Amino acid sequence: MERTITTVKCQDFAKYCLSTLKPKPIEIKPPEPKPEPKEEIQGPERVIGTTNYKKWEEFKEAEESEEKKQAEEYIKSMCSQDHRKEIELYERPTKEKLIACSQFKTQGNDAYKQKNYSLAALFYRKGLLQLDYTFPEDAKDEQTFKDLEISLHLNMCIAKYYLEEYDECLSHVGQVLKHSPGNPKALYRKALVLYKRDLLNESREIMIKIVSENNKNQEAIELLMQIDKKLEDYKSKQKKVFKAMIDGQEVNK
C-alpha cells in the first residue's frame, strides 16, 4: 500500500495554526493610585500642619537634663559624705566598744523603767551600732558580744511592742531566734504581737510550747488564759449570730 505524503507549504501551515488558536484576552489593569504626599517637617520649628512639636522636644530635653542633674548631685553627695566617725568607731579597741555597748544598754533600761520607750529604743539602737563595728578577738569577747546582741534585741523588741511598732518588734524577735532558737522571751514577745493582731491560734500555739517547757512561767500562763478566754468569747458570739440567722429564716417561712 502506497503512502500518500501531502506536502504542506509553510505558509499554509502557519495560516492553519492561526485559524485554530484563540487569542488570549488582554488584561487591562487600572492605574495604581498615587500616594498622597506627606506633610514634611518644616525647618527647625518641627511644625506639622498647624502643630508645633518643638515645645515637646524642649520639654523632653529639660526632663532628661533634670534627671541627669539629680543623679550627679546624688553621686556627689555620696562621695562627699564624711565617714570619719564610722572609721573612728571601727578602729576603737574591741573591749572599749563592748563596754560602751553595755553602758548604752544600761541607759536604755533606765529609760524603759521610766516608761520612756522611745528613749530606751534610742539607747538600745546605739548599743547595737557599737556591735556593728565590733569584731571579737578571743572566745571571751565572742561570748560577751553574743550575750549583748541577744539582750539588746530582746530589749528593743519589748520597747517597740509598747510603741506599737509591731513589725519592728517581730524583726528583733527574728534576730534573737536566729542566734538563740527557742528563746522563751523572744517567743513570748512574738506571741504578744500575734495576740494584739488577733492571730489567736498562732499565739496560743507558741504559749502552749512555752508553758509545756516551763509550767512556772506565770506570764506565759496568764497570756494563755487570756487567749483561751478571747477564743471562747468569739465562739459564743458566733453561736449567737448563727442562732439569729436561723431564727430569722424560720420567721421568713
pLDDT at 236: 85
Q: Is residue 122 part of a domain?
A: yes
Query: 21: Cβ–Cβ under 8 A, 6 or more apart, which residues?
Result: none
Domain membership of residue 168 as a residue range = 85-181
Q: Tens of pLDDT along 96-138? A: 999 999 999 999 999 999 999 999 999 999 999 999 999 998 9
Q: Is residue 143 part of a domain?
A: yes
Q: Is residue 112 part of a domain?
A: yes
Measured CA to CA in angstroms, residue 232 lies from 74, 220, 225, 229, 236 at distances of 57, 18, 11, 5, 6
**For the purposes of burial, counting CB atoms within 10 Å of the CB of 224, is it exposed (0-12), middle (13-18) or buried (19 or more)?**
buried
- Residue 102 belongs to domain with CATH number: 1.25.40.10
Q: Is residue 44 part of a domain?
A: no
Mean pLDDT within 157-164: 95
Q: Is residue 104 part of a domain?
A: yes
Q: pTM of the entire structure?
A: 0.64
- Using N-to-C axis directions, what is the helix angle for 94-113 and 117-132, rounded to 10°? 170
How much of the chain is in helix, strand and coil states, percent to nearest 5?
A: 75, 0, 25
Report the number of distinct structural domains present in the chain: 1
Q: State percent of the chain over pLDDT 90.
A: 53
Query: 182: Cβ–Cβ under 8 A, 6 or more apart, which residues?
Result: none
* Average pLDDT score, the chain: 80
Q: Is residue 138 part of a domain?
A: yes
Euclidean distance between CA atoms 17 and 12, whole angstroms: 9
Contact 128, 152 (CB under 8 A): yes
